[in-house]
Structure 1
Amino acid sequence: SPGKGTSHPPLCPPGIKCGGVLSAPSGNFSSPNFPGLYPYETECTWLIVVAEGSSVLLSFNHFELEYHAACAYDYLQVYNGATRDRGNLLGTFCGRSPPPPFSSAWHVMAVVFRSDRHVAKHGFAAAYRKDACGGQLTGLSGEITSPRYPESYPNDAECRWSIVGAGGGGPLTLVFADFQVEGGQGCGFDYVALFDGPTAAAPRLGRYCGSTRPPRTVSSARHLLILFKSDFNIGGRGFKAHFYSAGECQEVFTTIKGNFSSPRYPNFYPNNLKCQWSIHLPPGYRVKVFFLDMELEGRSSLTGGCDYDHLAAFDGGAENGSLLGRWCGRESPVPVMSHSNQLLLVLHTDRNTAKRGFSIAYVGGK
């Protein structure tokens, strides 16, 4: 939903070079006066913008800020996107522990540095580069596509996506929405390989090619590696896949009654989510869903529809089932009843403007 959100101009003492837009394919930036002590009462915002379709890979090679347990004094924040929106916040950092490498979910990333009026340290030095292929992904959910998707992927490509699930370390689920990769005996030419861990030394979960979508894959822990390789000729459309971090963002319920809520509820949910809750009861039962609380981003002022963040309910176990309802804003939906023994709820959130989310209870009846 472009055009939403507000920009925050950087505050800076006169004469201090601070923040700005970084649009080269790669570059470096650092706190004011680095490697000297940074000034007091400074706020700098760097907006990193690379080519559309790429992501930003950000790393820190020096990091030393005033320490506080909650990083309330001096801090550095990394945002997934242009707006300083709580749902986009990847992390707040201080002290001497450098932030991990970050890969953005799209082609824009923002970095904010803030110092208070006491205690200055040497600050930080960071490097970024455009990453058209692969990267380190963190979070509750996300989307991965082959280079240039849906156009034909390049020859001689090798991409590695290392996914680390968020929160409590539950397993990751990977679902392919589209798949067309050059086929061949044993997938020896172009292929996608999945590994149950952070590196290719981990147990292999599968190796796929051709035009049949790979099966839904679940890792045993919070790490999953996706490797894509293409040879010197014959390409294809490539692939699009979604990953979900189990627990908060994807759950399957089989008990006769239960309840669940959006990730981080009642705090703001993250942006760039696609979460699924599937209720699967014994044959003969129907599912009734009650909405206890709901606050999502509101309707579009242009279309009047739930075009930004929304929650949808589908009859059956998949999104191609009949739509039972689609909600956003501060609506109080009436209870919804399935026609079968299965019901699917899907939460989509876009790149900005997060809210409290929802709390839901369900019960099975005959």
Structure 2
Amino acid sequence: MNRLTSCCLGLLLLLSGAFSQQPQRRHNFACGGNVTGDSGYIGSEGYPGVYPSNSKCTWKITVPEGKVVVLLFRVLDLESDTLCRYDYVDVYSGHTNGQRLGRFCGTFRPGALISNTNKMLVQMVSDANTAGNGFIASFSAADSNNRGDQYCGGRLQKPEGTFKTPNWPDRDYPAGVTCSWHFVAPKNQVIEIKFEKFDVERDNYCRYDFVAVFNGGEINDAKRIGKFCGDSPPEPIVSEGNELLVQFFSDLSLTADGFIGHYRFRPKKLPTTVPPTTTTPATTVTASSRPTVALCQQKCKRSGSLVSSFCSSDFVIIGTVITTVTRGTSLHATVSIINVYKEGNLAIQQAGKNMSTKIIVVCKKCPAIRRGLNYIIMGQVDEDHQGKVLPSSFVMNFKTKNQKSLHILKNKQC
């Protein structure tokens, strides 16, 4: 045996030994089922092959009493859609009538999800057209009293601690997530919470992403202390009794930095901070921010050309209108972005490879846009980084031939 042959044979034996030491685990996942234990895995049917079409699979996870379920997606590869309308995975706290912790699709993995009890339900739904390998997720049992603060929600019974949105402070909180922190103090104590940093998608009525705080341990509007959004931290809040619930909700579009808050239990006899009793958005509406009737009664006609409007606009995008909602005299639209030619300070949300933004068409019928169609949209950006489209703004149906002109304009100095 020559030296070259001996060397190659030795290398092969070394590699063979190295590979043989690696665990060769392959899970055969079925469509749903009851899963119990301290830890384990669940995955879409047929993973890592393409998941079946027209299916609905439900997994009921149960860990030992006194623990909570922590779920972590290791792989997520489903048909991508901004609103997760086609193929998706829903995660619920509890087995029946539980609170939904989130809906997920595409390839963007959320942070760890945690139930409020020892039960969790995971459901995957696919339509007629599939695209992807599905998902694999690990679950484990965690001590509800000593689990750290890296998870989304849970039951908190320590005398003090912190709570924060998923991904804080490294990146924005994910879209489509619901977290509930249930604080339980001894009978003779109350809970005080303070938000150190706070940045949740801004809206005058906190309709999209928000933090809601309730006296007691349930989501009950009659016991709601306040509902908050924007970038101004709420004033310190003190519960009436020994239980408090903080709910964080994010919809399936724009997100923001999130928040970090601190809590402590203290005797009931100390003077308390009077909590707000009504919805308190972090923004206020001024008369100047509302479209005037006179403006919307003007003749609907855009001014300027593609070239002149490009320079006078704060943002220029091509996108598909995926949602439209009429609010008073205006139209609020979510646009799935195809290309950005001029961004300005426009708030753009990115989830994986998908980008979207929200715009307000100040006069709902002018310019007229329809859901499902592609447009070139130019407009202004307000102090809240939201796109505003006026009757005079340049908006037109997108045609492929327009791309060349826009690419040239993108490099032009206005």
User: What is the TM-score when the length of structure 1 is the normalising length?
Assistant: 0.41
Q: Relative contact order, CA 8 A, sep 6+: which one is greater?
A: 1
User: What is the TM-score when the length of structure 2 is the normalising length?
Assistant: 0.37
Higher strand share: 1
Larger Cα-atom Rg: 2
Higher helix share: 2
